[in-house]
């Protein structure tokens, strides 16, 4: 019989990468983690870790054990969801991770709905970029992630996660000198020699933006890099840079600069919520997702809308 606590430690090592990271996340000392994993090796009767430089990696047998651990933890999450569903009052903590613009535009409305309906539920919100947020979800550091997918660049497909559609978010070309009188494709090409602001290299947003510019026949002069889209907006408003910005930046208020459509198609990014398999039936998760969908509907006077097929489900 395997010890579940030790199995969790092995799983944590797979997702966090190092013994030091596991120890830091769980408030243990690395030597204690190493000792517990040694005991798990004795239980399994096979080596579970092998040295690689100064670190360790899981053996094929350890990967098999982690896969079974994931299945066990999924069942335990389903049990937790069933117990929570049997209670008359929703309590506990719901931990949400969100990227910046969704946190600014949707979370205040969602929080008001949640606290009004369930005053005993504690909500924690952390701003994270998509890659870090999904890793935190897999590591059980958060319970629900608001994620975003750019055209041609879907989120990594994790078998342990479930996604649910939240809304479509149109992208726009923005620069004060580009007016509505300018033809769509010409509006982009006329900014070929202008400075640009984009999200950091390696992000899905950056890859998409570079593809759009290259589709127009030029390599953008990216002088400013930031994951903060409010900084992007400020640089555009002051005439320092051109940018490609989503409707979500202006959700609930009027745009401060002219918005031009993005040519060449693939101009809408998709908002989704992601949770671990086994937790989707938990009433706190269901309530959180519904509050976010309601927040999208509340701002339906903007172009951030859910498709009719989704509204009917």
pLDDT tens readout for residues 176-211 = 876 665 666 788 888 999 999 999 998 999 999 999
Task: Give 268's strand partners.
Answer: 170
pTM: 0.76
Query: Torsion angle, CA of 39/40/41/42, rounded to 10 degrees?
Result: 50
Question: What string of DSSP letters covers 128-152?
Answer: --HHHHHHHHHTTS-SEEEEEEBTT
Degrees to nearest 5, angle at CA 27 with 77 and 15: 50
Largest distance between two CA atoms of the chain: 73
pLDDT tens readout for residues 8-52 = 888 888 888 888 888 887 778 888 888 889 899 888 899 999 888
Instruction: Give CA–CA dist 148/226, Å, rounded.
Output: 17
Pairing mode of beta strands 55-58, 221-225: unpaired
| Closest alpha carbon to 45 in 62, 26, 24 | 62
């Amino acid at each position: 019989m395997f010890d579940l606590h030790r199995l969790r430690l092995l799983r944590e090592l797979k997702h966090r990468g190092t013994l030091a990271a596991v120890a830091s996340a769980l408030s243990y000392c690395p030597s204690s983690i190493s000792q517990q994993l040694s005991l798990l090796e004795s239980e399994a009767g096979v080596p579970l870790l092998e040295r690689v430089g100064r670190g360790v990696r899981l053996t094929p047998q350890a990967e098999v054990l982690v896969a079974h651990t994931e299945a066990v933890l999924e069942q335990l999450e389903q049990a937790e969801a069933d117990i929570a569903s049997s209670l008359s009052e929703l309590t506990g903590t719901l931990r949400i991770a969100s990227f910046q613009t969704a946190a600014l535009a949707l979370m205040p409305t969602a929080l008001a709905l949640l606290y009004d309906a369930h005053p005993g539920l504690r909500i924690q919100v952390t701003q994270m970029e998509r890659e870090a947020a999904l890793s935190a979800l897999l590591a059980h550091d958060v319970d629900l992630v608001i994620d975003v997918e750019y055209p041609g660049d879907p989120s990594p497909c994790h078998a342990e996660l479930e996604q649910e559609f939240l809304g479509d978010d149109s992208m726009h070309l923005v620069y004060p000198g580009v007016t509505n009188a300018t033809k769509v494709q010409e509006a982009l090409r006329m900014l070929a020699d202008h400075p640009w602001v984009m999200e950091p290299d390696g992000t899905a947003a950056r890859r998409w933006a570079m593809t759009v510019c290259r589709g127009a026949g030029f390599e953008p002069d990216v002088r400013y890099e930031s994951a903060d889209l409010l900084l992007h907006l400020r640089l555009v408003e002051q005439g320092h840079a051109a940018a490609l910005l989503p409707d979500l930046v202006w959700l609930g208020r009027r745009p401060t600069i002219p918005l031009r459509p993005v040519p060449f198609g693939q101009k809408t990014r998709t908002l989704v919520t992601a949770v671990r398999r086994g937790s989707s039936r938990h009433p706190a998760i269901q309530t959180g997702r519904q509050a976010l969908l309601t927040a999208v509907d509340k701002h339906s006077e903007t172009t951030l809308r859910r498709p009719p097929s989704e509204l009917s489900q």
